[in-house]
Chains A and B, each alone.
Chain A
Amino acid sequence: MKRYRLLAFSGVGVVAILAGVLFFGNLNDNLVYYLTPQEALDQRADFPDGRRFQLGGFVEKDTVVRTQDGLRFVVASGTEPGSPSVTVEHHGAPAQLFQAGIGVVLEGSWQGGEFVSDTMKVKHDENYQPPDSGGDTP
């Protein structure tokens, strides 16, 4: 019985350590749903042209331009000016809620210095406000 308990406790300990390693270690960074523009720029060497990944960030104001079959805009890591940003060329229709300042997750790959995407998802935040209550976005 004592031996069994020891075995069980060491088993739980090993599981806890492994979970900690997985959780705080490098693996968690590879499991992300999308990369921020900052990470995408840092890891540019790991993602050659054509390797697909998802890029997520905020659409920078006054950068949205309509093109023949989609949009061009700049995606930044944060809403404040000067945060790292990536120019995106999106082919296809924009999502219904797409607008300047909103969060988007784009699927595509690097094409030189630009990110060419073909799938767009809009990420809305957890804040809910009625339209006329002011707030931080116009």
Chain B
Amino acid sequence: MTHALSAAPGPVRQCVELARKDLRLELRAGEALLVTAPFGAVALLLVPLAVGSDTPLLRQVGPGLYWVVVLLFGVLVALRQSAVDDPAQLAVLRLCGVHPAVRLAGRAAANTVLLLAFELLLAPVAVVLYDPDLSGWPWLPLLLPLVAVGLAVLGTLAGALAHGLAGRTTLGSLLVVPVAAPLVVGATQTMDAARYGRQPWAWLLLVLTVDLLVTVALGLAARQLEESA
């Protein structure tokens, strides 16, 4: 018995395995990157058709539109169908002694990877369509993962809250999007600040704070959510 317990994988290992499982499911279903990402690209394509072709205006609103699309459709990535555990799966995980926080952390990690891929897929589309001012690009390698983490954790939380409900994706989106507003503000302001030659640390700090805040919230809420499930 003790031998079996000592051989049980630690929380980090559990988390990694759960994330790998989520990613493998996505690889098979292709819901996030093959359906939601093209949907987001269509949204980017349609906006200028509605606005009219005004190159300077589009150049100006391009980065903002990109972040709004990342937010709205990124929520759909986080709430995808393959990220739903059925009661039997939950029961098995509970029996195996996987802590609920570990389970949600694994989901959040998988969501982060997918959201980062989603952002990287949409970025060239936005650049080609809007031809924006890219002078703030050195900040992107820092900004993209930070936003992905924040959105992924929020999406995980919303997915847990709306678990098993009929209007899961719409309700979950409603829960996430208003809270994620600071992420959009932080992201667009970072790019703006970098473009005008100011240091965007304050805005990056805002995004980081939001990330940490929602991560702490997820960790604290995990057990409560588990009991109500």
Contacts and interface: CB of A to CB of B under 8 A. Distances in A.
Contacts of B53: 33, 54, 107
Q: Give the interface SS of chain A, mostly helix, strand, loop or mixed.
A: strand
B86 interface: no
Contacts, number: 10
Contacts of B54: 52, 107
Interface size class of A (residues with CB under 8 A): under 10
Contacts of A119: 55-56
A52 B56 CA distance: 11
Interface residues of B, number: 4
A114 interface: no
Interface in B143-186: none
A29 interface: no
Nearest to A52: B54
A33 B52 CA distance: 10
A111 B56 CA distance: 17
A54 B53 CA distance: 9
Contacts of A54: 53
A52 B54 CA distance: 7
Nearest to B59: A119
Nearest to B57: A52
Interface string A110-122: 0000000011000
A112 B167 CA distance: 56
Interface of B: 53-56
